[in-house]
A and B are shown apart, each in its own frame.
Chain A
Amino acid sequence: MSKEQVIEKVIELEHLTKVYKNGRGIDDISLDIYRGDVFGFLGPNGAGKTTAMKVMTGLIRPDRGEVRILGHSVAEEYEKAMAKVGCMIETAESYPYLSAFENLRQFARYYPGVDEKRVDEVLELTGMLKYKREKPKRFSLGMKQRLGLAAAVLSRPEVVILDEPLNGLDVEGMIAMRNLIKGLAERETTFFISSHLIHDVELTCNRIGVIYNGRILDVDSTANILKNYASLENYFVSEVEQSGRI
């Protein structure tokens, strides 16, 4: 029995298909994410990364297939499936007329163990504590992104799903975010991260999945990939070129 088989599956995607009217979307995606994984979902623009993440978080219904998070079906038991999940999908949004603190307090109310002290804690963790009374309508893209990440990790989730989490962040912010992800991953938090920033995925993720034209091309560990390729970028280009030839 391999190591992967004994480790608990945290996210299970089974034959997930969602095709939009324009023909784009995802096609028959099956994927298992295990506890403690920092999974990098790599793919060019329009490959289907966001669609897959929207289906995973119940924002879109699939045409076919199923998603289970911590054993609960997203379609059938949404509240249970999302109870231990934090996510940021597509863009980091917040209510512009509520302060940063009030925004997080809105989400905190859904989790029994999350109080105002925890809100302050995540604001501190993301470097947003000094802006806690300010409204996001005056925030820069990077500040909104930090607030979105604070909202995603607020409930001390076991699973964090992040769509392009480094968008809009400066170098300092990117390093802080990488450290934040690594710190939480050490405490057994499972991450599913989509990004087009290959270098950052290489530095942050321990497993990689490549998606192209709505289909999964390959899934492998970062260590294994780097044994066979000089860099993750080389691996990615090779996988995509192979797919193009097919």
Chain B
Amino acid sequence: MAVFKTALINEVEKLSKKKKAWVAVILSLAVIVVGQLVILAVRSGFGLRGVGSGEFPLLVLSLVVNTILPLFAALVAIDSFSGESAQNTLRITLTRPVSRFKVFTAKIGAIALFLLGALVLLFVFSVLAGLLFNASSLTWSDFFRLVLSFLVSLLPLVVLALGIVLLTNVARSGITVFFLAILAFLLLKVLGLVFSGYADLLPTAQLDWYNLWLADVFPVAAVVRQFLLMLGYGVMFFVAGFYLFDQKEL
């Protein structure tokens, strides 16, 4: 466990020192600022109410969970695997007394922590923006539902990141992986629209699963089903990704 902890600390340190990670943070904040400006413009220009303080963070979440957060997941995963492989820096980690399994798991842990950090940041700033600029007060019950929505959104994002990690271990070039990931993402979204009856089975459909947690009557069966589907995808992506990572010749 101590070796895994070391590997995780190292991965988190590397991630925090990369410019890409900070660009992601700035972009996340920009989404909130632009979103709030649009709402203020709609309100003053058309006299519409826009959104209440409790609804603004959910509006932000619905936007980022299908756009910039999957993009960040792809960028960070590609950098961590394809990038290090191309720069030969993976070699200097793997020749230390640490197994490939621990390095692989630590890298995924760091990506998950990064996504959690992005969600926390988006939550804090969207709640603050909601409270400062929008009408109606935020109740504790609303606040709790918001926390839950942001937290449960981590799971489908991690599953998506695991899928991208699998791609990084299939194709060598980071650019190829990036385009493959975008193509696969768009294809799955289109498939979800065309075969709407089966859309829930696709890994991209679960990005919106936080909506299930907001229902007045908690849909236990649907939540369990979606959770198990994500778990299944996650396990398959993890195992296949690790198998290829373990076989990699550096």
Q: Which residues of B does A touch, CB under 8 Å? A: 3, 6, 9-10, 13-14, 17-19, 87-89, 91-100, 247, 249-250
Contacts and interface: CB of A to CB of B under 8 A. Distances in A.
A2 B6 CA distance: 44
A33 interface: no
A54 B250 contact: yes
14 contacts: A59-B91, A59-B249, A79-B3, A79-B97, A79-B98, A82-B96, A85-B97, A95-B17, A97-B19, A98-B14, A102-B17, A106-B10, A107-B96, A110-B98
Given A79-B97, A83-B97, A96-B87, A60 B250 contact: yes
Interface stretch (A34-42, A86-94, A115-123, A211-219): A86-94
A109 interface: yes
State the majority secondary structure of interface residues on B: helix
Contacts of B94: 58-59
A90 B95 contact: no
State the majority secondary structure of interface residues on A: loop
B249 A60 contact: yes
A90 B92 contact: no
B15 to A, nearest CB: 10
Contacts of A90: 88, 91
A31 B208 CA distance: 59
B86 to A, nearest CB: 11
Given A79-B98, A83-B97, A95-B14, A151 B250 contact: no
Nearest to B92: A93
Given A59-B95, A85-B97, A109-B10, 15 more contacts: A54-B249, A58-B94, A59-B249, A59-B250, A78-B97, A79-B97, A82-B97, A89-B91, A93-B88, A97-B17, A97-B18, A98-B13, A102-B17, A110-B96, A110-B97
